[in-house]
Structure 1
């Protein structure tokens, strides 16, 4: 019965709505685990007697696994289709949830987060692959409505994560933030089995026989890519002169990775495409900067609300709730508008304003002022990722949509790792107000750079023309 349902073709002239549920739940597994941990760090540290330097690995380990896994799984999605990868990801996610529930110490929790990082990798590249595949099948040039729904869903979960986490901790303790993955994974597994097609083709003329053989997977390229990211993360987690060798190692491995990929006929990441697609590289850079600011707010501000302002995890989560509401409203109202450049400009300006407001925060800051900051953040939250996602859709090679979209997530998680390292560096042992102000200056610099590269990026005008023309068609 499951095979019969999965094999039925969708409507010939419109997006197959049965794909939406497995797409959305698969895509939210990563953002919910990225954000829900924000309010659990302090309770975990208290329960297990761990310093902030150790609990920071609960954040970084997931981002490291995801940064490596997203383009890898995206490449596998391009090769074999989304169904098998989504099923495997759901199983790993459920396993990580079980390990987290019974973990006796920080080390085992880090293992659970690593498994969780790899398990939640499939959702976003699989969703982008399916959107492009359906666009090819139906002749729909720019599925703005589906892209908006994907962005709204992932952003909703990312922002509501701390609120959900606070409520779960209130009811079942911090282990509930891991246990929630078990029903989510089961739902993802069932929906993937029921509705995801066994085969999809971005090129209608391409058959299963044309897909790259399993033996042609670029194992050395994957290893060099992973080594580069691990070295970079270890340096960012402990920035000292004595650790500069890690940065040098990351540079050497990165150069070796680029040279190796240039020699491969079917590389893990096609460096030649990126070298000839400067606008796409700028989009990746924009993703790093936007994510750095966003995750500094998510983790830094949330920890300060608990440590510096003295709020409970549930109250801290509720303070962030307006970000969720405004983000959803903004994305829903403006998501279907094809123009992209103005969304990026307004989003970047919103991040600048947010950083300035954080500089004005004190240990006795009024709750209304904290809520105001959450409201301001909602504007870039609703616009930026939506605009970046739509920009990539028009800039990427359709045949590598899975890998390219997965790599976007890698760059955004590099930003998250930068945010995690900055939060650890500025807060030291406690999340105090002085550390929050130092973090705000860091955020101001990143958001200002985001604004500048968007202002000078002429390629966005071409993307606007493509998006507008596709919408009119």
Structure 2
């Protein structure tokens, strides 16, 4: 019998799989201090646990997204979630910080398959069922993939308090098993797409990875002595442009991308949004522990209002078709959060910390949802997986920029003057985001809506 309507059996595995990456990127925020104590490592070394996931994810997202477009979502989803389980087991027995870094790289690669798989299958199912934009499904995905980022510190604090810092890694084993079971049972089997080296474009993938690797390694430690990393990124970028313009099946179709200015604007908004979000997530959390004197568990709980507000905002606005209004409100809220950070000191009352966290939940709930809906409308349906992967890459590019800014603001410890410097940089990005929304004439006031 022919199935009608959107297949809601797809939702549980897609939501759970897409949750793996953002939760793992944020749980670590409250565990860096105890990990450093356990291995006798300074903050400069434990920071590699953060950057390892950033680099692996930023590079692998569009690569796996392209493979999803070519080979189908089910295969990549199952392989990726299996790798997440392997990473969790490796971290459980890691004898040194170096082994933990390796596990984070594997974790980053493994979690990259679920989000492009979700966007690919949502688009395919929407086309089959005749939905213009499955607003309800996209809203649930947004809550699971980005809003849940702010649950991470709270969950991480609880796990560290109950089972020690290794618990934030080993929790991936049962999560991966659940994803494998749900994915095996509910994701549709797809025909193998005939491919070859020319279709998958390995040279384009390698040049793309080299460009990002050089750029991001430099951003992690931006010093004149590291000029060679910029040179590597520039040379690889030039090679990528030459290669992709000549390739019959390019990994990144630069001609289509260059002609899609609305999509480029969406990617730019994503970078700016996450420079601020991740600086708040990691920099602010460090300040709460090292200067305000809160324990990892309490620091995580102080961010709980952010997650509650973000989820509430996404749920309340997800089915509304407004796009520009969401981005304007989210950008203004980010500016306000940065202004409030400038008022903090070591004696700031708990109620002010809670207010800042709650206000930060507004842009968390609005900006990602609006950017995701914009991408769904702007991207080529045949490249939905790789386009979604690039959106995640932009997210982690913003995260790496925030990591560099946080390291510069806190060279020795997370003190109050450093927090204020960080807030000024975050405020500049928030103002730039607001300006980009205001001047972007290609940004529609609303998107077509359906009720799935």
TM range (shorter): over 0.9
Q: What residue in structure 2 maps to residue 74 of structure 1?
A: 65
Check the 8 A contact 1:13/1:139 in 2, yes or no: no
Matched position secondary structure for 2:412: coil
Q: What residue in structure 1 maps to residue 20 of structure 2?
A: 29
1:439-454 to structure 2, matched below 5 A, reads 439-454=422-437
Which of 353, 356, 375 matches 2:336? 353
Which of 326, 341, 364 matches 2:347? 364
Greater shift after overlay, 51-60 or 288-297? Answer: 51-60
1:5-44 to structure 2, matched below 5 A, reads 12-44=3-35
CA distance in 2, matches of 1:239, 1:271: 28
Q: What residue in structure 1 maps to residue 293 of structure 2?
A: 310
Distance 1:458 1:181, change over 3 A: same
Check the 8 A contact 1:16/1:134 in 2, yes or no: yes
Show structure 2 runs of 5+ residues with no match: none
Q: What residue in structure 1 maps to residue 358 of structure 2?
A: 375
Check the 8 A contact 2:341/2:420 in 1, yes or no: yes
Check the 8 A contact 1:90/1:188 in 2, yes or no: yes
Q: What residue in structure 2 maps to residue 245 of structure 1?
A: 228
CA RMSD across the alignment: 1.5
Alignment of 1:416 with 2:399, yes or no, is: yes
Normalised to the residue count of structure 1, the TM-score between the two structures is 0.93
Alignment of 1:400 with 2:383, yes or no, is: yes
Q: What residue in structure 2 maps to residue 270 of structure 1?
A: 253
CA distance in 2, matches of 1:87, 1:308: 43
Check the 8 A contact 1:51/1:429 in 2, yes or no: no
1:54-453 to structure 2, matched below 5 A, reads 54-199=45-190, 208=192, 211-213=194-196, 216-453=199-436
TM-superposition CA deviations, 1:90-137 (whole Å, max 9, x none): 111001111111112211111010000000001110000011000111
CA distance in 2, matches of 1:444, 1:426: 14
TM-superposition CA deviations, 1:199-222 (whole Å, max 9, x none): 1xxxxxxx755x433663211111
How many pairs does the alignment contain? Answer: 452
Distance 1:169 1:122, change over 3 A: same
Check the 8 A contact 1:228/1:249 in 2, yes or no: yes
Check the 8 A contact 1:56/1:424 in 2, yes or no: no
Check the 8 A contact 2:32/2:46 in 1, yes or no: yes
Normalised to the residue count of structure 2, the TM-score between the two structures is 0.97
Runs (4+) of structure 1 exceeding 6 A deviation are: none
Greater shift after overlay, 392-401 or 54-63? Answer: 54-63
CA distance in 1, matches of 2:280, 2:292: 15
Matched position secondary structure for 2:133: coil
- TM-superposed CA distance for 1:255, in Å, is 1.9
Check the 8 A contact 1:52/1:424 in 2, yes or no: no
CA distance in 2, matches of 1:413, 1:127: 19
Show structure 1 runs of 5+ residues with no match: 1-8, 200-206
- TM-superposed CA distance for 1:157, in Å, is 2.3
Check the 8 A contact 2:131/2:450 in 1, yes or no: no
- TM-superposed CA distance for 1:429, in Å, is 2.4
